[in-house]
Structure 1
């Protein structure tokens, strides 16, 4: 084992030791979880159990080991990357003739600046919670997040015309207004009027977005790791499509396209396969062995394939109804997921990008790679505030990107967003928000006050019964115990004697 590996193993061992000592403090009842102490005894027990489970999970992650095989791919190579980068810049400066094309030089300079920033980030940026297949892979996507956010900020500061025409520098085919496709219209599954193909409506809806829906929800399930939250986001997005089809014709779909093809078939099947994959990952043994220490070729190939699976596994238990903080956090996560989904449709509408354009696909690939890291950092920040005192870097960037995308939509086409919402849709949304508010008030305020009042009343009723039981017991041991309790309650010490003897001495 090299010096860097021994240092890394020592750091991980120190983390494991600190987690183990913290778990011992929790078991002894002297560990402060970091939450405000609730008055009901039941909620205190729940919080203590939560802290125990969180610490046990951290210890289980620390127990995962590697044999420390140091290969060429696991070194940082900071000097090598710096040398190659310097050679490339020297070649461009001294040996290459700069073409006299302002647009070409501008694009090449922007691309070169982004590549230099990516080289710095891959070698020097802070590591996140994921280490497989390689920490540099996740550092790369972190730097891509920074570059994408800077690009969005640049687009946000342009006029509407200049921002749309700027997309021509990326692809000359962009910058042209496109008609929006309407998925509604004739909603008959079987059309008897069409003798050649009665099921033409069904085949028209079976485009490339059907496997994209399935694959997207399979990956989202791997990110969220909770069946309830995935189904809630899936159903809520269909309600959003119903509510916003007066703004975007793309949201106008048939009822069976909404609930059968999307929710049940594509989304439901993707969520089911994702939950099965999560069950396999949670039961899979995580004991890694170096590639060169495996004797058989079959074992080496299997080890290479498992390099693209997680290094360790943490089961997400969101528990939204456990306390108000987690409930508001889960609502915020669902809101940001839905906003990111809506940004996909609104961005291509305001920037005039066709749905099949490669930029739309690249954006989805980007969110696939950064979403898992962001969800893990959010969960650690919620579940373990004692050890994760600030929001993770990738989660911070994903939140900023989602908000910036929405601000671009607001600036570039406020007329579409300000179209009057149908009154029936407004009634449904007001009713839903009102029910959520009422449930929140009942669950975290009214119910707690009621339980606290019942607990206080029960203790007051039990106190006189216990006192009468102590006084009515004729045994000398019970009388002595009752006398000691009375003296203790009066605040007098045994060294001063009883109250009768004190009165005699005073007289």
Structure 2
């Protein structure tokens, strides 16, 4: 929860007695206490109105983006870290393996077991000792666990990157003996007739052939992505842009070759749009839900206890993301970077399984998606905090940093393992379309954040120059005494004349 900024502003003005603070501090002090510090000039009405407007806008922004949370502060057994308990159990397990268990005479098995044990020890350390992130439900240890998994996955990718292409592909056999064999990619193109009159038994067979397990995966994936991004237009842009990427890269991967209605009707309009719609409805419910947390043993009824256990798997509090990409150049470039990294991570899913010879339905592909589901939400929250509150978040969050590193490392593996596929020449008309799009984005950026601002500043300067002489005339005419005439300027005032006569 955020602290009221108006109180902090008034405190800053009160704690400086005998000094004239800024106009904003004096105005805030006047709003709270009803008087300005003695000896300080009263702020002008435009300055006071501007400060009041800014204060109300900031408070309204906080009310719109962050919910109110009530927590009785009950520290239960479940909530504590139990570092000593975890250390004792881990030590007992290592003592048992060392003294009581006979080591098998199998080098490959012992190597695998040693690597898994090393990873488990690191996970135990991270779950109990790692730095907490922005999420606390269902338990901070859950998110610390995924932070450590992120580190392990990045180290695995670095190991694969430093192998030869043959050794890297054959190393996958240690994970699953069925891997390490080239697999043919399924072509989703071919006959694109929605109604096939040549097939009298099932004329809609083309539609049923496309109804595989990836249809619900599309829906579920975009539902979760909407919960991560929390913005309708960004989700729709990423959804449409990825279909354009599939059109542009189908000469490299046969998996991208799909029928037009598969691209735009099944993917964009049905699966993606439905997932985004359900995600936005969930976001609306989460933003309106009251966040009143009470200790489990403080709830008298069993129904209340069950409801409390269920709500433990919902967020502790809720922040509405307001990206505002056109507000300034920094946010605009950050939003472009987020969209680019999202699209790159999506492409890595297809290219990695292509260069490492993994079938689309393999459990490693599914585990990677589950991994990004758990770490993506934390990364997006850290990126948003870094953009929206730079005074409190002076550096990029740890999970966001790791996810960005993983995305780049995956792309480097793709480039190293199959450069021929990546370097296949893009058709000329597709290159023209992408260059035109990049040029339009550059022109709009130049106009919005440079030319438009210069024009507005020039118009504001001209307006002030035109209003200044009129304000001077109004001031001279509105005073109780008119401006001295030419004769009085030469001869002086009447009092001065009488003084000279005396």
User: Superposition pairs for residues 312-327 of structure 1, below 5 Å?
Assistant: 312-327=317-332
In the alignment, structure 1 residue 346 sits paired with structure 2 residue 351 = yes
Match of 1:479 among 472, 482, 485: 482
**Contact 2:6-2:55 within 8 A present in 1 as well:** no
The normalised TM-score by structure 1 is: 0.85
Stretches of structure 1 that go unaligned for 5 or more consecutive residues are: 1-11, 32-40, 484-496
How far does residue 20 in structure 1 lie from its aligned partner after superposition? Answer: 5.6
Residue of structure 2 in register with 1:165 after alignment: 170
How far does residue 338 in structure 1 lie from its aligned partner after superposition? Answer: 0.3
How far does residue 71 in structure 1 lie from its aligned partner after superposition? Answer: 2.3
In the alignment, structure 1 residue 224 sits paired with structure 2 residue 234 = no
Q: Distance in 1 between matches of 2:248 and 2:231?
A: 26
Match of 1:138 among 123, 128, 143: 143
User: Superposition pairs for residues 74-473 of structure 1, below 5 Å?
Assistant: 74-471=79-476, 473=477
After superposition, the C-alpha distances for 1:76-103 in whole angstroms (9 at most, x for unaligned) are 1111111111111111111111111111
Q: Distance in 1 between matches of 2:394 and 2:150?
A: 22
Q: Distance in 2 between matches of 1:179 and 1:44?
A: 66
Q: Distance in 2 between matches of 1:275 and 1:114?
A: 37
Q: Distance in 1 between matches of 2:267 and 2:201?
A: 27
How far does residue 18 in structure 1 lie from its aligned partner after superposition? Answer: 8.3
**Contact 1:191-1:199 within 8 A present in 2 as well:** yes
Q: Distance in 1 between matches of 2:54 and 2:395?
A: 20
How far does residue 68 in structure 1 lie from its aligned partner after superposition? Answer: 2.5
Q: Distance in 2 between matches of 1:261 and 1:163?
A: 36
How far does residue 74 in structure 1 lie from its aligned partner after superposition? Answer: 1.1
After superposition, the C-alpha distances for 1:168-197 in whole angstroms (9 at most, x for unaligned) are 000000000000111011000110111111
Q: How many residues align?
A: 460
In the alignment, structure 1 residue 29 sits paired with structure 2 residue 24 = yes
How far does residue 420 in structure 1 lie from its aligned partner after superposition? Answer: 0.5
Residue of structure 1 in register with 2:37 after alignment: none
**Contact 1:19-1:55 within 8 A present in 2 as well:** no
How far does residue 478 in structure 1 lie from its aligned partner after superposition? Answer: 5.7
After superposition, the C-alpha distances for 1:192-220 in whole angstroms (9 at most, x for unaligned) are 11111111100010000000000000000
SS in 2 for 1:287: strand
Stretches of structure 2 that go unaligned for 5 or more consecutive residues are: 14-21, 27-46, 486-491
SS in 2 for 1:321: coil
How far does residue 29 in structure 1 lie from its aligned partner after superposition? Answer: 3.1
After superposition, the C-alpha distances for 1:218-261 in whole angstroms (9 at most, x for unaligned) are 00000000001000000000000000000000000000000000
Q: Distance in 2 between matches of 1:404 and 1:329?
A: 20
How far does residue 277 in structure 1 lie from its aligned partner after superposition? Answer: 0.4
Q: Distance in 2 between matches of 1:55 and 1:279?
A: 16
Q: Distance in 1 between matches of 2:252 and 2:8?
A: 57
SS in 2 for 1:74: coil
Q: Distance in 2 between matches of 1:422 and 1:84?
A: 60
**Contact 1:237-1:338 within 8 A present in 2 as well:** yes
Q: 1:354 to 1:254 in 2, by over 3 A?
A: same
Q: 1:202 to 1:23 in 2, by over 3 A?
A: farther
Residue of structure 1 in register with 2:35 after alignment: none
Q: Distance in 2 between matches of 1:260 and 1:309?
A: 33
**Contact 1:470-1:479 within 8 A present in 2 as well:** no
Q: Distance in 2 between matches of 1:341 and 1:75?
A: 37
**Contact 1:234-1:263 within 8 A present in 2 as well:** yes
How far does residue 65 in structure 1 lie from its aligned partner after superposition? Answer: 2.6
**Contact 1:381-1:388 within 8 A present in 2 as well:** yes
SS in 2 for 1:477: coil
Residue of structure 1 in register with 2:76 after alignment: 71
Q: Distance in 2 between matches of 1:105 and 1:132?
A: 37
Q: 1:383 to 1:260 in 2, by over 3 A?
A: same
Q: CA RMSD in A?
A: 2.8
**Contact 1:54-1:384 within 8 A present in 2 as well:** no
How far does residue 24 in structure 1 lie from its aligned partner after superposition? Answer: 7.2
Q: Distance in 1 between matches of 2:328 and 2:140?
A: 34
Q: Distance in 2 between matches of 1:105 and 1:417?
A: 38
Q: Distance in 1 between matches of 2:479 and 2:12?
A: 41
Q: Distance in 1 between matches of 2:283 and 2:188?
A: 34
SS in 2 for 1:313: coil
Q: 1:426 to 1:241 in 2, by over 3 A?
A: same
After superposition, the C-alpha distances for 1:88-134 in whole angstroms (9 at most, x for unaligned) are 11111111111111111111000000000000000000000000000
